[in-house]
């Protein structure tokens, strides 16, 4: 896949993270952790730009896409807003904003929560199901922007990043 053009493309004749690592080592010592951390942050920017380009065709941002996927994964296609926020690890205000935008687009509807008289569920509409399926097919079509990595590299990268998440308390092992 060709590198996308735009504000996130630098097209430098050298790797700026590698160069920064060399300078770092001369000043402060080992740069291995800094190189990895900076690379993870840069790859996040690159991937989000790629996802935004694909999802824009569906009228979605990545945050809205994540919410639709979460609803699609749920048994009933509906979840309380609080659960959406916990699973996506976002502030309640962000969940409300995301759901409001999805409701405005006709992809989600608000429903009373039968388990909680005061609570509200976000529920996928038929259009929401269609859009999340189409958007997912498009993201899979670009290999989620990770075509440069083979299956073994992806597995190793996932395992390493999972260890960092586990160490940070992101989840508990069974």
One digit per residue, pLDDT tens: the chain, 174 residues? 444 444 556 789 999 999 999 999 999 999 999 999 999 999 999 999 999 999 999 999 999 999 999 999 999 999 999 999 999 999 999 999 999 999 999 999 999 998 887 889 999 999 999 999 999 999 999 999 999 999 999 999 999 999 999 999 999 987
How many Cβ atoms are within 10 Å of 164's Cβ, its own excluded?
Answer: 12
In this structure, what token pair is assigned to residue 37? 């951390």
pLDDT of residue 118: 81
For residue 61, the 8-state DSSP code is -
pLDDT of residue 102: 98
Burial state string for 92-101 with b = 16 or more CB within 10 A and e = fewer than 16: eeebeebbeb
pLDDT of residue 9: 67
pTM above 0.85, yes or no: yes
Using alpha carbons, select from 97, 94, 93 the residue that is nearest to residue 108.
97
> What are the extents of the domains in the chain?
13-56
Residue 53, helix vs strand vs coil: helix
pLDDT of residue 116: 83
List, in sequence order, every residue forming a beta bridge with 78; answer none if it has no partner: 123
Q: At what angle do helices 32-56 and 126-141 cross, to 10 degrees?
A: 130
């Amino acid at each position: 896949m060709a590198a996308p053009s735009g504000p996130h493309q630098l097209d430098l004749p050298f790797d700026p993270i590698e160069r920064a690592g060399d300078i770092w080592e001369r000043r402060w010592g080992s740069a291995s952790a800094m190189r990895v951390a900076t690379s993870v942050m840069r790859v996040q920017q690159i991937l989000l730009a790629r996802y935004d380009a694909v999802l824009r065709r569906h009228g979605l941002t990545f945050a809205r896409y994540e919410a639709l996927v979460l609803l699609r994964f749920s048994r009933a296609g509906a979840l309380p807003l609080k659960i959406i926020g916990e699973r996506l690890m976002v502030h309640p205000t962000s969940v409300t904003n995301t759901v409001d935008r999805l409701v405005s687009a006709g992809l989600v509807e608000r429903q009373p929560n039968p388990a909680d008289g005061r609570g509200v569920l976000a529920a996928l509409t038929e259009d929401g199901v269609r859009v999340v399926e189409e958007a997912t097919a498009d993201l899979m079509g670009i290999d989620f922007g990770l075509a440069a990595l083979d299956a073994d590299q992806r597995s190793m990268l996932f395992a390493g990043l999972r260890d960092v998440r586990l160490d940070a308390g992101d989840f508990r092992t069974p």
